[in-house]
Structure 1
Amino acid sequence: MTSPADELRAAAETLRALATAASTDPQGRPTAHWDVRYRPGVLPGAPAQRDGSCALIATDSPTAVRLLHGGSIGTRGGQPSISPDHGRYAAAMDPTVGLALADLLTAVADNPDDPGVREGNARHVGCAPATCPAAAALAVARAINREQP
């Protein structure tokens, strides 16, 4: 049986690998910080733009590497696309967030003050993720690991 700590560490390892891989493009240029940019003449506005063309870019690259182009469903042989809402979410969850979250999962797994996480006992059963940091971290780990609680 896998302990909660093992689940947390597995998720942290997966997240670290994905975030590290997404931190550079195939040419080795940095791509760890993401943002959404709109084509010239399209403004995000208030409320937020939801139907105009946008691109997910790496802001730490000197050439603003385009990670995804969006605003349409795309065409055969066309550029990958992403909606503005999905692009903003992806930008908010860039590799720097993934690496920080991996560190947090590891810290919860290695917490010496919480033997329930390390030993896998039922201490956190019934503990709501909204009020219990260990249960919240475990819910995140299970989502990353694609497991059901």
Structure 2
Amino acid sequence: MTDTTPAAELRNAAARLRAHLTDPQLTPGPWLSLDHGDRLLRNQPGDEDRAPVYVVDEPMSNGANADYIELVHPGVGAALAAWLDSAAHGWEALQLAAKRGLDPTNPDHVKAARLLNDGPYDAQDALALARLINATES
């Protein structure tokens, strides 16, 4: 039986992100978009003294896509995966709080559960993001 709890959905999304991050062909970030997508290059210390490492073939046909790719480099993906894991922990805390008599629909109770888990995040937003990631074909 597949676990479909919110915490499981969040962990599945984090695992999918990490699977992409461990692809040996992935160019490490951060990345740099030059001339609004004419070139998308790896941008690490010392790269200015080496031949360019292209993230994608040049030129990209859509400058907005290049700018977005530059923004959401693998380092961002790793941080996002960690945040999703943290949100999964928050969902589990809310479930535990409900078992102890706290009302998960009461905003004050939800805030208390989040504070117990060091998370000022919105678990609903994290779950929506996880569902988008989980629905992506790859």
TM-score category, normalised to shorter length = 0.5 to 0.7
The list of structure 1 runs, each at least 4 consecutive aligned residues, that deviate by more than 4 angstroms after superposition, is none
Post-superposition CA distance 1:44-67 (Å, at most 9, x none): xxxxx5xxx611111127333111
1:109 equivalent in alignment to 2:98: no
**Unmatched segments (≥5 aa) in structure 1:** 39-48, 72-80, 125-131
Q: Percent identity?
A: 30
The structure that is strand-richer by fraction is: 1
Give 2:124's aligned residue. Answer: 135
Task: Summarize the alignment of residues 1-149 of structure 1 with structure 2, pairs less than 5 Å apart.
Answer: 2-21=4-23, 25=25, 31-38=28-35, 54-60=38-44, 62=47, 63-71=51-59, 81-111=60-90, 113-115=93-95, 123=104, 133-146=122-135
Letter in 1 for 2:77: G
Give 2:112's aligned residue. Answer: none
TM-score, with structure 1 as normaliser? 0.62
Alignment RMSD (CA, Å)? 3.3
Change in CA separation of 1:55 and 1:69 when aligned onto 2, cut-off 3 Å = farther
The structure that is helix-richer by fraction is: 2
**Unmatched segments (≥5 aa) in structure 2:** 106-120
How far did residue 138 of structure 1 move?
A: 0.3
